[in-house]
Chain A
Amino acid sequence: MTLASHADVSRLKRTHPGIFTKPPLERLRDWCLWLGFLGVMGFGLWWIDASPLRVINGLNKLGLLVTLMIPPWPGDGFWDYCLAMAETLAMAFLGTLIAFVVALPLGFLGAKNIVPNWLFHFGLRRFFDAFRGIDGLVWALIFVSAVGLGPFAGVLAIAVGDVMVFGKLFAEAIENVDRKPVDGVRASGGAGLHVVRLGVFPQVFPVMMSHVLYFFESNVRSATILGIVGAGGIGLQLSDRIRINNWQEAAFIILMILVTVAAIDAISRRIRAKLI
């Protein structure tokens, strides 16, 4: 094998210019995209008032906070924090469970192969999609206003936020089932409900469970912060500690959250691996 010499390269450039340079129209488009990107980025930085001075000042203050956080120490509220953490887990669990129970029939209704009505199916899907755009914290704020402070509002917020996503995921899982067991049940004389129970359900159940476990994990993460708007759990304690500048205890709570989330992730990963 020999390497191409400079003369060869220049000859190749002459004979095949298209390989070495992009056509001008494409280059123009790339330039426009980059300019647009930089423009939006610059505008955004200007809008949020970013300046090196601000970054340096903030980092100084952040460094101060970190020194205040060390060592993380629970003070005398350790058992309160444990209870609040249990409340957080309970909120995530109940929220996921309620969302699952409500989304199960919705998922079947939203699946093309169960309800073959195009308009109905399309409408339900768009409905699911639309409500996904609202963050869980906003739901929590609304439910705190509606049913009062406490974990109950958090449970409802998690449930409502998840129903929409579950509905969509379940509908997709149901649409992807193998047709053969369904045909088998129908051929042996099963009615509509039999088909759903014996032909579709055994196929989609593991998929659904895996989704549910995954969402339980992510709900534990989001439940830790719902307390910031008053929906119970560890977030309430954390935002209180930050508000009264008790950084050692705040750091302890953050560490607690990290450990709990890691533990829940590990457990649910193991169960999910077993399911699939």
Chain B
Amino acid sequence: MSPGLVRYLAGRLLRALLTVVGLVTIVFLLVRLIPGDPVEAILGDQAGPEEKAELRRSLNLDRPIAEQYVSFFGEMLDGTMGTSFRKPDRSVWSLVREVFPYTIVLALAALLVAWFVAIPLGTIAAAQASRAWDKVASTVAVAGLAIPNIWLGPLLILGFGVKLRWLPLPGDDLAGPEALILPAITIGTALAAVLTRQTRAAMIDVLQQQYITAARARGVPSFALLLRHALRNALLPVMTIGAAQLGALLSGTVVTEKIFERPGLGTLFLESFFARDIPVVQGCVLIIAVIYVGVNLIVDLAYGLVDPRVRLS
């Protein structure tokens, strides 16, 4: 590896690490410093002083704030992430790990749906700019962004579950992959809209390059030209999911898991929220944030490896 590459990788890694430390600190401060006593929030107004003192002790809230900070970090690092209030025999990490796969599978399925729609549609739209397919693509892009996922989910259930009876309803058996289709479309639609625009823009850009003209002049058939010469080069920016889209994907799983009554990180997060199970809420926030930072890091590193220009900037 060249020294430039090493410096790039090290710098990026350090920044991700700093972000995670910053996130842990923010989560810590949010709980301690914002007005309102978490103990009161957990127990409600009716609790006696002894009960409150007990909880305060178990939360370490009676110690100096610097000491709390250190022990909070310790809990985050020792792999347990603290202990659940509701299930005192379970560590937060064990609860998270249990539901984690459901959310990851759902997010990946949503991503596949988005690519499956956006890449062909964006390519065709770019290849014959401002004609029928271009209109279709821009309509999809506008409509996909305008329909909120909290409405799209119920609409899909009504259409494909109730009226057509093609796909399972929420609460039905989750075993088969067909139960994943509607939730994935619910999350993936907005992403598909964004990616269709991006694919189209990237393709139009690539199609104007000289090597495309050269290939065309050599008599490369237009279909092969589109797929082999243009799409390959246009895809890199499209496949690189941006930070904003990843955020939308993760937010989408929270909403969609509720609509379709699926287990997952979002469901655990909301359940713990309503039960005032603060350690689990903290854990879920952190895990989601770490996924977010981690995926961005991986994307950046991969980009740096593939494209030397990134390292210089």
Whether A and B are associated in the same complex: the answer reads no
